[in-house]
Structures are given as structure tokens and as C-alpha cells.
A and B are shown apart, each in its own frame.
Chain A
Amino acid sequence: MAVAKESHWTQPANDAPMARRRLLAWLSSVGLFGSVVLAAASNWFFFKPRVTYGPNARFAIGKPEDFPPGTRISRDVERVCIARDGNKLAAISTTCTHLGCIVGISDTGFACPCHGSRYDQDGNVTGGPAPKPLPWFQVTLAPNGELVVDKNSQVEPGTYFTL
């Protein structure tokens, strides 16, 4: 052991080859660890899907006549509540903002069965652990006369689609 310590690794006869060696060692370490980091980071892009196979975020819900004034129905497959008030219509999310359960329609608005969050008719939080109000989604009228909800575009709560 003691012999090894006396070697040219720590006691170079001349400084120049030592500096070159250290630089090369340093560069190859950077290269090695850099590629490990890159390889690890590329996993993220592999695991983050570019295509999802779940239900469409944009979907038709039917003609305006299907929702007479005063309607308030929950479409559980798409997880939205369609609420019509006079000639104004809105699509409110029924996915609890707390931990993703489906909220049910209650007398005062919405209630979550999982952790007891409560919302009013417009989706504002009135009780429980929910941190945010229920989002509202954009509603449009397609050329074929059907209403279309787009869950990818949120609108300000209170923004109705006027028929």
C-alpha cells in the first residue's frame, strides 16, 4: 500500500503530464456521469405517454332540446354536470378537486362521498377539504346542432353558453 502512494499518481516528476491526466480523468468523469443523467432523464420521456387511450376530452352531449330549462343532470361517464338555467347552459366538472372522486348532485349543490367535500350550485367550495372550486368547461354548438363540451378548455365559473 505504502509503495503505491509514492507512485507518479501523486508525485509526478513533471507537472505537465499530471495536469493532462487530471483533465482527461475529469472530462471522462463528466462524460460518464453526464450520460448517466441523460439516460435517466430520457426515462421520463419514455414513461410520459404521448397518446392516451382514455375517453375523449371533447365530446357531444346532444341537442339543446334534450336539456329543458331547469335541467341539472350528472353525466358520470364524462364526469360533467350539465346545468341549464333559462337559456343559459353550463358544463361543470363532477371530479372532486380534492382527490378525484365523483361528486354527486345534492340539494345544495354537490357533495363528495370520499372525504366529505361540499360545493354549492356553481361549484364553489362550501365545506370539507376541497382546495379549489369545481372547474367549468367550454360549451359550444356544433354545426350539426349538437352541444359539444371540451374538457381541455376551462372557462371562468359563471360563464354560461347562451342558447
Chain B
Amino acid sequence: MSDATKETPGGLAVLRELPSNVWNSIFRGPLPSTDLERSSTSFTNFFLHIHPVKVNRNTLRPAYTLGLGLISLFLFLILAVTGVLLMFYYVPSTTQAYDRMLDLRGTVAFGIFLRNMHRWSAHGMVAMVFLHMCRVFLTGAYKKPREFNWVVGVVLLLATLFLSFTGYLLPWDQLAFWAITVGTSIAGYAPLIGKQMQFVLLGDTTVGQEALLRFYVLHVAVLPAVLGLLIAVHFWRIRKDGGLSRPEKAADPAPATGVVKMRKVYGLQGFVRGPFTKVGNVPDDSVYSWPNLLLSELFVFVLTVSVILVVSLMFNAPLEQPVNVMHPPNPAKAPWYFLGLQEMVSYSAFWGGIGIPGIMVALLLATPYIDRGTKGVGRWFAKERLMANTIFLTLVTLNIIFIVIGTFFRGPNWTFVSPF
């Protein structure tokens, strides 16, 4: 009896050790103080094991990535959280949706604030995903072996736009109704199956209850799931493609076979990476993810959330009059990122809405397979990539010019007006 109490602590000792026992059962190691512990922090934690144990120094240069991809991810997370909260008070019904918008303003605690956060994050995400694409292009980061991740990224951009488009209808105000009427009519111009596609998208011949329900389900279930899966693939590929792109001189030196002696094969890894370990054989320019990468990520996260909070406190998301199917607002404008399209559509519905955007998307998808040069990766505006960058920037500028014209220079009946 007395022996047993000596071996297993009982009574007060159990109580005294309770906090540290609970803590140690959750977190496997102490706060890391050695390199070994820093490594294990990254790969024994479910939430951290997405990170490599070490990252190249270049990855952490803010001037290289501008943190745009991370900002997009954090905006997506803000959108998911605020979106789920808004779902608790929203009803996708033509008779109730608008009243629920007014309730968010009037009665729901923090309702207007959550809606602001959701709206501004959505605008922000479209902008950040687009800028992230520009960054990747202008640094030549889509080149081999990262071609497929660029393709995933283009699909992510399209999914982001479609997600934003489906969300646009949900408030069921004038802006929502007419923007979707115009937008889905553009789909009707697609050759052969255009009209059918429009009918399936709307569930009817005009925008009504069926369209609202379909857009709601797409917005809260289907598209977020697709986007989430693609984000996972996108991140996985970053690791598998050898981390973020970087200039040749910053590349992790590959072990030279002549110099490095063949060693024993360590398990399956040997088959994948070659029959030698890199550890201790080559100099490398990398730092531990804990704490370097984590602190950078935390900084970007805090920055993103702070900006969204401040903007949401300062500006309210617009809400127009309830839907009046008889009187379109004049002019009826789409969200700003589609105004370039709408401006082109005012010249020709097929070319502006289907033809040119289709060619643009096809060009973007094909970019890494057309541009096979290997020079100029990992630097902004590399001289070797002058032509590619010029073509890209021209198209981006054209799109921005069309957006500016559509936003500021178009008045009633889409006639040219001067904002000054």
C-alpha cells in the first residue's frame, strides 16, 4: 500500500501536476530552444505541419512576395467565418432576403459590422488574388517546375470571381437583381449551349426565386468547397515544387554527385530524392520556419484583419432599394471588377462577354506552356523577360482602363459622361 503511493503520485501531487500534465498531453514538446525542437515543432503540430521545417531566406523577403497570396488566404478565412455567421440570419427567399438585410442593419447585434466585413473582404480578395497573379507573372514564378500550380492559380482566380458573382445576388436589392440579369445574359451568348446554360444557372427564364436559391447554394456550399480544395492543392504544390520561386543565386545548391560521397539509402526517401542525404553536406541559405516564417505569417494576418476591421468600421456596405423587376436602375452597373467586361459588352455582347474573356483565360492557362524560357525567374521585371512582362502589363492596363471607363465615365443609357 505504502509502496504504491510512492510510485504513482496521488492526492495533492496529482492536483499539483494537473496543469503541466494537461499541457504536455496537448503540446508534445517545450517551446523550442534548439534546432531539433524547432524542427519538431513544425512537423508534430497538426496546424503547423503545412510548413516545411526550414524555408529559404528569399521566401521571407517582403519585397519579393508582398505577402499577396497569404493576404488572399486570410481574406478567404475571414469570408468563411463571417459568411457562416451571416448564414444564421439569412433566408434565400425573394420575399424575405431584403428584409433580412434590413434586420442585419437594424436588429442583429454586430449584423451591419459582419456584413461590412464580408463585403469588403470579398472586394479585397478579388483584388488581392488578381495582384498575386500579377506578382507571380512579373517575377516569372510560373516557370518549370511550377507550371501546374500557375494553372491551379488561374482556376482559383476564376472560382473567386464566380464566388463573388453568386454572392452579389443574395441581398436581393436593385443592384443585385440587375447585375445578375445582365451577367447571366452574357452567359446566354456562349455558342451552342449558351441559352441552355443560362436556363440551368437561373433555374428559370428570368431571375427569380429559383435563381436566388441556386446562387445561394453555390455561394455557401459548392464554391467554397471547390475553392478550399484548390487552395489545399495550391499550397501542397508550393512545397512539392520546391518552395517559392527564387533567383538562381539564392537556390538551394543541389548536392554535386562528384563531390558528395554516395551514402547509405535511408528508407523510401532515398528512392525519391536520390541515394544521399543533404544534411551537413551542402551549405544552404535557409532558416527555421519556427519562428521566422510563423512570425511573418502572423504579421500579415494581423495586418489583414486590422485593415478589414478598420474599413468595416468606417464604411458601410451599400444596400440599394429592394428589387423592382419593372424598373432597372439607369445605368445598371455590375460590380467594379466586372465593369471592364460590361464596358466591352456594350460594344459587342459576344466578343465582350465571351470571346475576349475566353481568349484571355485560355492565354493565362497556356502561359507556362508557351513561355518555356528558364531565365529571369525570381526577380521582379527581369530584363530577360521584357517581352512577356510587356505583353502582360499591356493587357492588365487595358483591363484597368476599361474598368475605369465603365466605373466613372458611363452615365444613364451607358452614354459617355465626364465625372469632372
Contact = CB atoms under 8 A, between A and B. Distances in A.
B274 interface: no
B182 interface: yes
B103 interface: no
A53 B210 contact: yes
B88 interface: no
B30 interface: no
B205 A101 contact: no
B181 interface: yes
B230 to A, nearest CB: 19
B186 interface: yes
Nearest to A75: B326
A99 interface: yes
**Interface size band for B:** 35 or more
Interface in B169-224: 178, 181-182, 184-186, 188, 196, 199-200, 203-206, 208-210
A76 B185 contact: no
Contact of A98 (B199, B204, B326, B349): B349
Given A52-B210, A113-B331, A101 B178 contact: yes
Contacts of A1: 271
Contact of A111 (B182, B332, B347, B413): B413
Contacts of A48: 196, 199-200
B346 A131 contact: no
A53 B327 CA distance: 22
Contacts of A139: none
Nearest to A76: B326
B168 to A, nearest CB: 15
A53 B348 CA distance: 32
A129 B349 CA distance: 7
B415 interface: yes
Interface residues of A, number: 24
Contacts of B206: 54, 100
A160 to B, nearest CB: 25
A101 B349 contact: no
A101 B346 CA distance: 13
Interface of A: 1, 44, 47-49, 52-54, 76-77, 98-102, 111-116, 128-129, 131
A49 to B, nearest CB: 5
Interface string B262-273: 000000000100
Contacts of B196: 48
Contacts of B349: 98-99, 129, 131
A98 B183 CA distance: 11
Contact of B415 (A76, A99, A100, A116): A116
B413 A99 contact: no
Contacts of A111: 413
Contacts of A77: 325-326
A1 B265 CA distance: 14
Nearest to A129: B346
Nearest to A45: B200
Given A53-B208, A53-B210, A101 B181 contact: yes
B318 interface: no
Interface in B327-385: 327-332, 342, 345-350
B177 to A, nearest CB: 11
Contacts of A116: 346, 413-415
B186 A99 contact: yes
B332 A113 contact: yes
A131 B184 CA distance: 16
B205 A52 contact: yes
B210 A129 contact: no
A49 B414 contact: no
Contact of A100 (B181, B203, B208, B210): B181
A52 B331 contact: no
B292 to A, nearest CB: 38
Interface in B51-102: none
Contact of B181 (A44, A52, A99, A129): A99
A98 B346 CA distance: 9
8 contacts: A49-B203, A52-B204, A53-B210, A100-B185, A101-B182, A101-B328, A113-B328, A113-B332
Q: In the A-B complex, list the 3 residue pairs whose CB atoms are closest, starting with the nearest.
A: A76-B326, A113-B330, A99-B185
Contact of B185 (A47, A49, A98, A102): A98
A39 B108 CA distance: 43
Nearest to B348: A129
A111 B328 CA distance: 12
A101 B413 CA distance: 11
A54 B206 CA distance: 8
A125 B54 CA distance: 65
Nearest to B199: A48
B11 interface: no
Contacts of B414: 114-116, 128
A114 B325 CA distance: 14
